[in-house]
Structures are given as structure tokens and as C-alpha cells.
């Protein structure tokens, strides 16, 4: 249901703010993914018809000309250029939207989403990636880095061993890591080793 509502919302935004992009999408000149990206960025602009028109014109032209990776960068830069407010004002307002949400998924899984200031989000990801890469070096580890990052995140936030000292009596750090990884492979996913900060 949320995906349907999102699609309806994107269509409304394009029709109201980006008529050129809407027509280009209907005519098949730009892809659905680019139309959605344009709608999301246009929806973040203030109620300023001049800014909408400038963004619509530039984004539609770029969407038909540049590669997908280049388009995302170009569209974001264009949004920055036409936005009437300073980045400082926008960041202060955006901070009010920060939060964490849980979405139920199939087969006993769930998605945890966090909207954070960019510097803090990058710091969190760096720490999770460091833990995942450390775990990936242990003997017999077969999980992907993405899976290991998920394990580290769960351990940190749910109070698993990653959040504190390793739960072992040995003074050998490599032994603690091996024990923790072996325990994880045997089904207890909350036994990742402690991470250095």
C-alpha cells in the first residue's frame, strides 16, 4: 500500500511542479526511476513556482541526456542551485525530521530505517563496515559484508557483545574473535566481537 501511495504522490508532484518531466515520462522519454527522482527532489523545494520551473526544465533536459549515475548528481546539484533557502536554514529544518522507523517484512524480518545528520550517518556506517571487515577475516566466515554489517548493527543496538567487551575469559583477542565468529555460524547471530572505537 505504501508503494502505491508513494507512486500517487510522485505523480501529483510531477503534475503540479514539473509538467515537462511529467510529459516526458508519459511519452517514454525518461524512465520511471528518473521521474521518481525528479518528483522527490521537486517535492523538497519550497512553494516557489520560479524554482519549480527552473528545476523542471533543467532536470528534464538532463534526464534525457546523461547516464543514470551522472543524473543523480546533476539533479541534486540543480536542486541546490534553484533552492531559495541557504543550506544552513534547510539543515536546521531537516534536523526536525530525524527519526527511526521499523517496517515489518516477510519471513520474520524487519527493516530498520534511520534519518540522521549526514556526518553521523557516515560515522555509523564506517564503524559498522570496520566491524564487518574484521569479522570477514575470521576463518570459515562465509557471510557477505552486508550481512556482517547487519549483525554488527543488531549487536550494538540490541546489547550484544559488539556493544561491550568480548564475552570470553581468554586474553587472546584473536581467540575471542574466532570463538565469537564460530558461535555466530552455529546460529547465534548476536556474537560478533567487540569493536574498537
The average pLDDT across 61-73 equals 93
What cell does 118 get? 549526514
CA angle (176 as vertex; 171, 180 as ends), nearest 5: 160
* Residues 55/41, Cβ–Cβ less than 8 Å: yes
User: Three cell numbers at 107?
Assistant: 519471513
Alpha helices in the chain (DSSP H): 2-17, 19-26, 32-43, 49-63, 68-82, 87-95, 118-136, 145-158, 173-185
* Three-state SS at 125: helix
The whole-number average pLDDT for the span 162-185 is 41
d(CA 44, CA 37): 11
Q: What is the mean pLDDT of the chain?
A: 82
Residue 29 predicted with pLDDT over 50: yes
Q: What percentage of the chain carries pLDDT values higher than 70?
A: 78
Instruction: State the cell numbers at 69.
Output: 549515475
pLDDT confidence of residue 124: 96
pLDDT digits (tens, 9 = 90+) for 136-168: 998 999 999 999 999 999 998 987 655 443 444
Residue 100, pLDDT above cutoff 80: yes
Tell me what the mean pLDDT of segment 113-118 comes to.
95
The pLDDT score that the predictor gives to residue 8 is: 87
pLDDT value of position 3: 56
State the pTM of this model: 0.61
Closest CA to 173 of 137, 142, 144: 137
Among 22, 18, 88, smallest CA distance to 53 is for 18
Q: Is the pLDDT of residue 175 over 50?
A: no
Separation CA 65–CA 59 (nearest Å): 10
pLDDT tens by residue, 69-93: 899 999 999 999 999 888 888 888 8
Amino acid at each position: 500500500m505504501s508503494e502505491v501511495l508513494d507512486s500517487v504522490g510522485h505523480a501529483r508532484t510531477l503534475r503540479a511542479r514539473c509538467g515537462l518531466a511529467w510529459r516526458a515520462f508519459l511519452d517514454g522519454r525518461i524512465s520511471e526511476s528518473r521521474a521518481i527522482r525528479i518528483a522527490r527532489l521537486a517535492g523538497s523545494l519550497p512553494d516557489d513556482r520560479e524554482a519549480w520551473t527552473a528545476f523542471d526544465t533543467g532536470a528534464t533536459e538532463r534526464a534525457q541526456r546523461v547516464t543514470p549515475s551522472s543524473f543523480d548528481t546533476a539533479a541534486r546539484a540543480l536542486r541546490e542551485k534553484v533552492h531559495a533557502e541557504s543550506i544552513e536554514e534547510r539543515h536546521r529544518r531537516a534536523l526536525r525530521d530525524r527519526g527511526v522507523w521499523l517496517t515489518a517484512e516477510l519471513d520474520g524480518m524487519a527493516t530498520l530505517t534511520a534519518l540522521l545528520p549526514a556526518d553521523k550517518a557516515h560515522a555509523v556506517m564506517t564503524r559498522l563496515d570496520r566491524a564487518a571487515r574484521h569479522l570477514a577475516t575470521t576463518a570459515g566466515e562465509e557471510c557477505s559484508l552486508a550481512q556482517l554489517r547487519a549483525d554488527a548493527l543488531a549487536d550494538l543496538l540490541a546489547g550484544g557483545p559488539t556493544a561491550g567487551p568480548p564475552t570470553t575469559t581468554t586474553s587472546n583477542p584473536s581467540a575471542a574473535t574466532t570463538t565469537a565468529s564460530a558461535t555466530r555460524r552455529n546460529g547465534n547471530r548476536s556474537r560478533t566481537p567487540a569493536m574498537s572505537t
